[in-house]
Amino acid sequence: MKKMIKKVLGFVTIGNVSLLLVVVIGVFYIFINRFEPAILCMFLAVAIFFVNFLFRECDEALDLADKCKDNERDAVQETIWLYDELQLEMQRHRLTAIQGMKYKNKAEFMQRKKSLTQYLKRSDALDSIYEQEVERLHKMEKEIEKKNNDEKDQGTDSETETAKS
């Protein structure tokens, strides 16, 4: 019902009503043969028309600016999310590379290219590096999770909060 009323009477604004009123008064002055007030009313009607047009354009520009701001905010959030995902993926690739170095070390030992002491020494070093990188990966995941939870707590997810209440 509201949509139908808005569709039928959507043109009824203060500017349009004042424009219509000034035009009616101008036509009234023409009918009673008073042309100076009629001309003034017509000039006033033209001025009101231009002011309405400018306000309409400004309103559309403001709406467009709001849309641009929303799109920019969404793009920044998406960029931050992609950066975090890239960092996690790089860390996972580091872990894969360290595992590859472990297998290479073991293969060299099995082919008798390295002695047992060299193998154990390198294996211990690779294990400690691997453990450090795993801890770093878990720390990064926790930081990203905390950052995502903080963003949700700041009110960006108000729909779920109202649904819970």
User: What pTM did the predictor assign?
Assistant: 0.52
What would the two tokens of residue 15 be?
């500017």
pLDDT in tens, 46-95: 888 888 888 877 888 888 889 999 999 999 988 988 998 898 899 899 99
Together in a domain, 146 and 72:
yes
d(CA 148, CA 132): 24
pLDDT in tens, 5-17: 666 666 667 777 8
**Residue 36 in domain:** yes
**Residue 3 in domain:** no
Per DSSP, the residues of the chain read -HHHHHHHHTT--HHHHHHHHHHHHHHHHHHTT-HHHHHHHHHHHHHHHHHHHHHHHHHHHHHHHHHHHHHHHHHHHHHHHHHHHHHHHHHHHHHHHHHHHHHHHHHHHHTTSS-HHHHHHHHHHHHHHHHHHHHHHHHHHHHHHHHHHHHIIIIITHHHHHHH-
Together in a domain, 146 and 88:
yes
**Residue 132 in domain:** yes
**Residue 88 in domain:** yes
Together in a domain, 74 and 24:
no
d(CA 83, CA 99): 25
**Residue 85 in domain:** yes
User: For the chain, how many structural domains are there in total?
Assistant: 2
Amino acid sitting at position 162: T
Together in a domain, 72 and 121:
yes
For CA atoms 19, 25, 28, 30, give the dihedral sign.
negative
Domain that holds residue 138: 67-152
**Residue 45 in domain:** yes
Together in a domain, 147 and 74:
yes
Give Cα 39 distance to the centre of its chain: 52
**Residue 165 in domain:** no
Together in a domain, 77 and 135:
yes
pLDDT in tens, 91-120: 899 999 989 988 888 888 888 887 888 888
**Residue 31 pLDDT exceeds 50:** yes
Looking at 6, 25, 50, the residue that finishes a domain is 50
